[in-house]
Each structure stands twice: as structure tokens, then as C-alpha cells.
Amino acid sequence: MQLKTTSHLAEDRYFDPDPGQKKVALELYRSIATLPLVCPHGHVDPRLFAEDDFRFENPAALLIIPDHYIYRMLYSQGISLEDLGIPRQDGGEVESDPRRIWQMFAEHFNLFRGTPTGMWLADEMFGVLGVIEKLTGESAQAVYDQIEAKLQEPQFNPRRLYEQFNIEVLCTTDAATDTLEYHQAIRDSGWQGRILPTFRPDAVVNIDMLSWRQHIDALSDVSGITVRDYATFIQALESRRAFFKEMGATATDHAALSPYTAVLSSPEAEAILQRAFKGDATAQDAMRFTGHMLIEMARMSVEDGLVMQLHPGSYRNHNRVVFERFGLDKGADIPLPTEYTRNLQPLLARFGSEKRFDLILFTLDETTYGRELAPLAGHYPAVKLGPPWWFYDSLEGMRRYFDQVMETAGIYNTAGFNDDTRAFPSIPARHDLWRRAATNWLAGLVVRSIVDMDDALDMAHDLAYGLAKRAYHLD
């Protein structure tokens, strides 16, 4: 077999080809390439850091089985999730040999050509795993061997990688009912890594979510406040926020089908909650209750200083077949058109001008960048715009973000970068892609004489590091 090496890792990768612009981009990039990584929002499991000797199992368990970005693409081309080792809800048989899963993945690696997953993997395979061959059906097992060997190396564990990646802080995302035991274990261990929780109350706030009732029971248990009405519900939430804050949290996170907000009267809120307790709440109830609770959460943020993140607009579990067989979060969430101007007005009328309030908005509807989000962020003191999310966390997605957001909002009403990943070893690749996209954009401003080099250097530092740190109160 002729060894095919990857060409993905040229120093000037991802930059526009014009030599003048590329020279400036490289200069800007070099000025910020080695800054520490600030990771204010993501889904890495804190358990990875709870003990010093955590090991990753095998290449498939590291890279494929937990990553719905990868297996949704393979599924789209007719490969069954069973063949990729994704566990079935009914305990039915699925592929258990990681080498066969890896082979299947490698044989279809061409599907990721030109995709951000392909770019992250290329970077991660070379930069983190030391693989130089191009992944194909032919090279699959040899590459597997190399990665497997790498996983055995003493320094290849999460804490050592955290240090090697030069991460300054890593925020996880945790249910309101989470005991944060792994965060506590990290603290107790004396290890210096900064792993902070984020308060995400969706499962107890969105009354139409699966198992809402069980989550409420868990909330009662963990808070010690029996949730039986609206008043105790609010008390329990406030108590959990206080606990999260004590454990180092600086932010909360909220998902919703839409960013609809409207205040309910106390009797209305109570009535809806009681219907939910009885299992009688309607879809309309759920929307109104979530819309009310977003305003309540904003009120709590004004009081306790936790930064509020809002991630609306995903139609979860769109594929009923996959949902019934494999459950939640299997790469079958599809974006919806999303409206912010009218929907957020009630919340912003109350708290948008509060200097003690920080609301970071995300979107899966890029049409709102220039039309709604940049104008809102460019006016309201409380509003900042989060980085491109999910499908748009890509080279072209970032280009569109810079082009459509920055002229109206300016960079200082944005919140820098989130890697937003479950895949811990992909973190450096994701930040590097952002840093390259940002400096490439800035180089475009410099060569067109829109900003000078001094300003661009300063902006590059903020985009790569300072904005995220300040927006999430991590300084």
C-alpha cells in the first residue's frame, strides 16, 4: 500500500488565496495562535477530569460513537446506526467490534470532504493523534493501530490533554438537577484545571419535555424544596442557581423551540403548572410557560449575575424512526425559521437596558444575523451575540457570520468563540479554525484599508480570547 499523506495541515490553511491578504492573515494569526483556549460553552463530560487516570477506550469510542456530527452523515448515506455501534433503546444487538465500526467509517470518509467535521478530524488526527496517513478503507486498520497505541500513552488522558491544549477554563453544561459530583471531585482532587458547571434548566422548565414529571421530582430531591406550586418551583430554581454559582458557574443556558417571551400573571403561571402536574398541559401551555420562564430567568440573572445564554430554534428528534429506536440527540435535530424581534421584545423591554444583565443569543437561522440579532446587539446594553452555532460552526458559516454581523453590531457586541463540543480532543482544532477564520476576515479589512494593522491586531486578540472571557465573566 502506497502511503497517502494528508495535505490538510499547511500553515496557511483556510486563508483566502490572495497573496497580499494571506500575508496579513498569517501575521495576525501568528500573533494569537498560541493564546490560551477559553471554552465558555460546551458539552464535555466532567467525569473525564474527575480522576487523574481516565482513559479513552478505543478509536471508535473516542471519535465515532459519541459524535452525532459523524454518524448522522454516515446514516444519511444508508449506513445503519446499528452498524456504527449506536446503542438501541430496546437493548437490541448492535455492532460491538470497534475495528469493524472504524472500518465502516474509514470506507466512507469521503463523505466528509469539504465539511467542518472533515476539517476538524484532519487536524485532530494529525495534531492530537499523530496520524499522517490519509484515512481510507485501505489505511483504516493501520490508522486504528496508531490511534490505539496513542491512547495507551501515559500523557494521553483528559487532564494531561487539558494542560497540553493550553485550556484556561472549560465550562460544561449541566441539568438543573445535577449534583455536580464530578465538579466537586475535581475541586477536591487539587488538580488546577478550571472546569466550571453551567446551569441548564430546560428539563424542568419546558413542561412538554419527556419525563418532565421525573425531573421535577429530582428537582425537589436535590434542592430539598418540595415543588408543588409555582412559588416552590421558583424557590427550587433559585436555590439550584445559588448552588451552581457556589460551584463556580458564571452562566446559565436555555433551549427553547422559539425565543417567544411574555409575562404571565401569577394565577396563569400557577394554572399552567398545575395542568402540567396533572399531565394536562397543552402545546400552547408549554410555549407560554417557557416564554414566561425565560423572563423569570432573566430576572434571576439580574439578581445573581449569571450570564444568560439562549439557544432557540431546533426541531428536536425530527426522525421518528431514529428517535423511537435510539432516543434523543442522534443527529436528527433540524433548524426552524426563528423570529427574535417581536419574540424577545417583552423580555428586553424589562431587562434589555439593565447594565447588570448579560444575554447571549444564538441562532440556527442565519437570516436573523443581519436582520434581527446584530441590530438588537448593536442597541441593547444587555445583549451580545454568540458565535456561529452547530451547523454554522464552519469556515463558510464563520465567513457569513463576520460578513453579516460585524458591520452592524461591531465586534464588541459579540461573545467570541464557543467550541460547543462533546468531543474533547477536537477542542484545539475548533478554536484553531475560528482563529484562522477571524484573522482571515480581519486581513480582508486590512487589505481593503477598512482598519489599520494596529486595530486588527487588537481585534484579533479580542476575537480569539478577550471577548469570550469578558462576555462570560471569566476574568
What would the grid cell of residue 470 be? 469578558
Element spanning 171, H or E: strand 167-171
First-to-last alpha carbon distance for the chain, in angstroms, is 52
Do the beta carbons of residue 45 and residue 172 sit within 8 Å? yes
> Closest separation between CB of residue 273 and a copy of itself, Å?
27
Q: Retrieve residue 243's grid coordinates.
A: 448552588
Q: Closer CB to a copy of itself, residue 418 or residue 440? A: 440
Q: Does 464 bind a copy of itself (CB under 8 A)?
A: no
Backbone phi and psi for residue 284, each to the nearest 5 degrees, phi listed first: -65, -45
Contact 421, 68 (CB under 8 A): no
- Cell numbers for 37: 483556549
What does the alpha-carbon distance between residue 110 and residue 123 come to, in Å, rounded to a whole number?
A: 16
Q: Which of 52, 142, 450, 473 binds a copy of itself (CB under 8 A)?
A: 450
Residues 410-429 contacting a copy of itself, CB under 8 A: 410-413
Q: By C-beta, is 49 or 401 nearer to a copy of itself?
A: 401
User: Which residue's entry shows cell 495507551?
Assistant: 152
Least distance CB 412 / a copy of itself (angstroms): 6
Tell me how far apart the alpha carbons of residues 427 and 432 are, in angstroms, rounded to a whole number.
Answer: 9
Which 126-145 residues touch a copy of itself, going by CB under 8 A?
Answer: 134
Residue 348 as a binder of a copy of itself (CB under 8 A): the answer is yes
Residue among 127 and 375 whose Cβ is closer to a copy of itself: 375
Contact with a copy of itself (CB under 8 A) among 38, 62, 104, 119: 119
Choose between 161 and 445: whose C-beta lies nearer to a copy of itself.
445
Residue 71, all three cell numbers? 454518524
Cα 151–Cα 157–Cα 63 angle in degrees, nearest 5: 55
Binding mask 303-332 for a copy of itself (x = CB under 8 A): ------------x--xxxxx--------xx
In the bound state with a copy of itself, the residue whose beta carbon lies nearer, of 196 and 446, is 446
Would you count residue 258 as binding a copy of itself (CB under 8 A)? no
Grid-cell match 452562566, residue found: 251
Q: Rule CB under 8 A: say whether 432 interacts with a copy of itself.
A: no
User: What residues have CB less than 8 Å from 247, skipping those under 6 apart?
Assistant: 180, 183, 184, 187, 196, 197
Q: Which three cell numbers stand for residue 15?
A: 486563508
Taking CB under 8 A as the criterion, which residues in 92-111 touch a copy of itself?
110-111
- Closest to a copy of itself by CB, 2 vs 34, is 2
Q: Closer CB to a copy of itself, residue 192 or residue 449?
A: 449
Which residue among 303, 349, 473, 475 contacts a copy of itself (CB under 8 A)? 349
Shortest Cβ 15–a copy of itself spacing (Å):
7
Q: How far is the CB of 127 from a copy of itself (least distance, A)?
A: 14
Q: Are residues 172 and 252 in contact, defined by beta-carbon separation less than 8 angstroms?
A: no
CA atoms within 13 Å, Cβ hemisphere of 82: 8
